[in-house]
Amino acid sequence: MNENVIYSDKAKELQAIAKEIAESHVRPGAAKHDKAQEYNYDAARACAEAGLFGTWIPEEYGGNGAGVLALAMVVEELAKADSGFGVAFAVNALGSFPILLGGTEDQKKLWLPQVANGEKFVAFCLSEKFAGSDAGGLAVRAFDEGDHYRVCGEKKWTTNGGVADIYTVFAVTDPESRSRRLSSIVVEKGMEGFSIGKVEDKMGIRTVPVVETVFDNVMVPKANLIGGKEGMGFKNAMQTLDYARPGVAAQAVGAAQGALDYAMAYSGRRRQFGKPINSFQMVQKMLADMAIKTEAARALVHSVAATVDAGRASEASKKAAMAKCFATDVAMEVATDAVQIFGGYGFMEDYPVAKFFRDAKILQIYEGTNQIQRMVVARALIKEAADLEHLAAYIPFEEQSTFTEQAAITGS
């Protein structure tokens, strides 16, 4: 635990519940659900019965009101046992944050209690075939049809698609506007014209479906416009991602810890040259580095989650990008080293670290690639540099030379 972060009793209670569910309902079926590409409904039901889907939802809407830090702690425990199920659980937070952060009071009272009690699952529909990191380039349209919107187009890589009952969809309502081009709208399972298209055959996180969602002239009541006002979609999406990225980072911490745990257990039992391999200095160095980086990632994730819970929005965006980027890079590195420690067995699907390796890769890609996260961080740093002008007095900048490069080249 991070000594600089205060953990509420409720957060610790939910974490303990998640740990018990992870060991009794998630880990035993992880390999089976991965191979069959099946959703783990047993684990989801256990989470619902224990109230875990209400972790991040305020008490006034039927949740626990425990916040984003508690969400990170719960997600880590689930992802430690099966990072695929960690994704399946956390995506409900991603899908419901647009309503929680931007919805009207009536919308929150309608949908959030259903999420909190596990009655309905949620999905987040932002990415498209030709608009991934470029959220401003979305093409799915929502046409004004009086008391309804007519939603047309396709979304790509919808996690939880097919399982979810509620879809928060980001669509173009004003193609002529640059700042108010997008709106967020709730589309519900069973609406005419809404269907699931291609189901992706993925490298990892195979227990959670990732699909194309198709909107063939879906008539959606205007009451489903999140916030009741057009043009707020881009702001809603960016705010949602700032709140959700600690959850993605927590998935990565769980995945890293899960891979490390298996590597520690294996290296103490595997013997070579008459000794357990964890007695060899090279393996010890690998284990130490894996543990150090995992703990550093956990501290950063908990710090940013606490920042989000404290309502310090001006700090959240940069720190959320840092946490997502660092933790997911750590997950990939730790999973890779775990495979290496297992040696040839690590390459075999009979052993669990192969799955951790496959699952880790997507963490560096979805909800904003790590290249995008670094860009977010860099831009924030450049803005902050304006507050460091006083340091210029201590830096001996040389005057700009009047002897141009062109003159040097031509000899003139």
**Do residues 150 and 143 touch, judged by C-beta distance below 8 A?**
yes
**Do residues 121 and 165 touch, judged by C-beta distance below 8 A?**
yes
Distance CA 269, CA 267 (A): 5
At position 372, the amino acid (one-letter code) is I
Could you tell me the sign of the dihedral formed by the alpha carbons of 315, 321, 324, 330, in that order?
Answer: negative
Per the rule left: phi > 0, alpha: psi between -120 and 50, beta: everything else, 166 is beta
Task: At 168, list the tokens.
Answer: 């928060």
Distance CA 235, CA 243 (A): 12
Distance CA 212, CA 29 (A): 26
Distance CA 370, CA 152 (A): 30
Query: 41 vs 30, 38, 118, 278, 330, CA distance in Å?
Result: 12, 9, 11, 38, 29
Please give the backbone phi and psi of residue 68, each rounded to the nearest 5 degrees, phi first.
Answer: -75, -35
Task: At 291, list the tokens.
Answer: 């543990």
Distance CA 290, CA 335 (A): 9
Please give the backbone phi and psi of residue 72, each rounded to the nearest 5 degrees, phi first.
Answer: -60, -40
CA 184 to chain centre: 19
Task: At 218, list the tokens.
Answer: 């879906």
- What is the DSSP code string of 129-171? TTBSS-GGG---EEEE-SSEEEEEEEEEEEETTTT-SEEEEEE
Distance CA 211, CA 154 (A): 10
Please give the backbone phi and psi of residue 117, each rounded to the nearest 5 degrees, phi first.
Answer: -90, 5
Q: Reduced to 3 states, what is the DSSP secondary structure of residue 4?
A: coil
| DSSP-H helix ranges across 310-369 | 313-342, 352-363
| Lookup result for tokens 């700042």 | 179
Distance CA 326, CA 147 (A): 45
Active site members: 367
